[in-house]
Amino acid sequence: MSKSYLSLEFIDKSFERNGVRSDVLTQVSLGVEKGEFISIIGHSGCGKSTLLNIVAGLTKATTGVVFLDGQVVDAPGPDRGVVFQNHSLLPWLTVYENVSLAVDKVFSRTKSKAERHDWVMRNLDLVQMGHAKDKRPSEVSGGMKQRVGIARALAMEPKVLLLDEPFGALDALTRAHLQDQVMQIHAELGNTVMMITHDVDEAVLLSDRIVMMTNGPAARIGEVLDVPIARPRRRIELATDPTYIRCRSAVLKFLYERHRLVEAA
C-alpha cells in the first residue's frame, strides 16, 4: 500500500484529568495528497484543534501514527507551518520581526542575511502586509494579524500548512477577502493544506475534500466529501453552480441532521 503524502493512521486521543479519562478522538485515519486542500469541519468541541495539534506535533496521540512525506511525526517542527486559532503573534515584535523570527531560524544556514530579508518581504507582500511591516500586532486589525500569521507559516516553506479556524474571528467581508487570498496562494504555490473551519461555505469554496467529524466525545471521521469543482473558483459564479449546491447541502445535512450538536452531552 502506498502511503499518502500526509497520512494519519488510527489516531486515538484521550485526555486524563484527575484520574478521569475522556476520549476525544477515536480511530481517525486520513490520507492527504501533496498539493491537496483539505477542510475539517465539525461542531465546537469535537476535537478538531486536538487533531490539528497532533499533526503539528504539539500534542501526542494516545495511539496511532502520523506520517508526513514518509517520516513519522513525533515533535513540532517548521515543516508543518501552523496558523493558530488566535493568530499567536508575539506582541513585542513588529509584523516584520514576527515573520523574520521564523525565517531567521529556519533558513539560518541556507540563506544569507539579505536573502532572508527579501524572503520575509516576499511573504509579507504575498498577504499584502508589506506596507505595515513596522507596525506592532496591537496596531493592526484582526484580519491583518491573521494575514501576518499566514505569512509567518508560509515563510517557513512547510510541507503542509495547518490552519486552525484562520478566519473564525473575522467579519464576513474580511473573511471573504482572505479566503480569496488563500485560494490564490494555494494556486500559486501548490501547498498541501489542512484547514479547520466551522463555516460550510468556506469549506466548500476552498477544499478539494471535506472531512466531516462526528460529535464528541470520542469523535471520529463521519464522512469525507469530494468537492469536484474546477479551479480557479469564483465565489459569485459558484452560488448557482449545481455541484457547489450539492456539496453544500451534503455538509449541512451531515452537520445539522445526522450530527446535531447535542447540548450538555
Ligand X SMILES: Nc1ncnc2c1ncn2[C@@H]1O[C@H](COP(=O)(O)OP(=O)(O)OP(=O)(O)O)[C@@H](O)[C@H]1O
CA distance 160 to 37: 10
Contacting residues toward other proteins, per CB under 8 A: 56-58, 75-78, 80-82, 84, 86-92, 101-102, 105-106, 136-138, 145, 156
Between 134 and 226, whose beta carbon lies closer to other proteins? 134
β-strand partners of 37: 193
Between 95 and 194, whose beta carbon lies closer to ligand X? 194
Angle subtended by helix axes 142-155 and 172-189, to nearest 10: 10
What cell was used for 48?
A: 478538531
Neighbours of 180 (CB within 10 A): 16
Indicate which of Mg ion, ligand X, other proteins, none lies near residue 10 (CB less than 5 to 8 Å, by partner kind).
none
For residues 1 and 19, is the Cβ–Cβ distance under 8 A? no
CA distance 106 to 87: 20
CB of 45 to Mg ion, least distance (A): 8
Between 21 and 109, whose beta carbon lies closer to ligand X? 21
Give DSSP secondary structure letters for 4-17.
Answer: PSEEEEEEEEEEEE
Between 126 and 196, whose beta carbon lies closer to Mg ion? 196
CA distance 23 to 15: 6
CB of 78 to other proteins, least distance (A): 6
The owner of cell 461555505 is 201
* Contact between 256 and ligand X per CB under 6 A: no
Stretch 41-80: interaction string toward Mg ion, x if CB under 5 A: --------x-------------------------------
Pairing of strands 160-164, 80-83: parallel
Stretch 17-56: interaction string toward ligand X, x if CB under 6 A: x------x-------------------xxxxxxx------
CB of 29 to ligand X, least distance (A): 18
The owner of cell 506596507 is 131
Number of residues that bind ligand X (CB under 6 A): 11
* Contact between 194 and ligand X per CB under 6 A: no
For residues 259 and 43, is the Cβ–Cβ distance under 8 A? yes
Indicate which of other proteins, ligand X, Mg ion, none lies near residue 92 (CB less than 5 to 8 Å, by partner kind).
other proteins
Indicate which of Mg ion, other proteins, ligand X, none lies near residue 6 (CB less than 5 to 8 Å, by partner kind).
none
Return the half-sphere exposure (C-beta side, CA atoms, 13 A cut-off) of residue 258. 12
Between 53 and 214, whose beta carbon lies closer to other proteins? 53
Note the residues at the interface with ligand X (CB under 6 A): 15, 17, 24, 44-50, 216
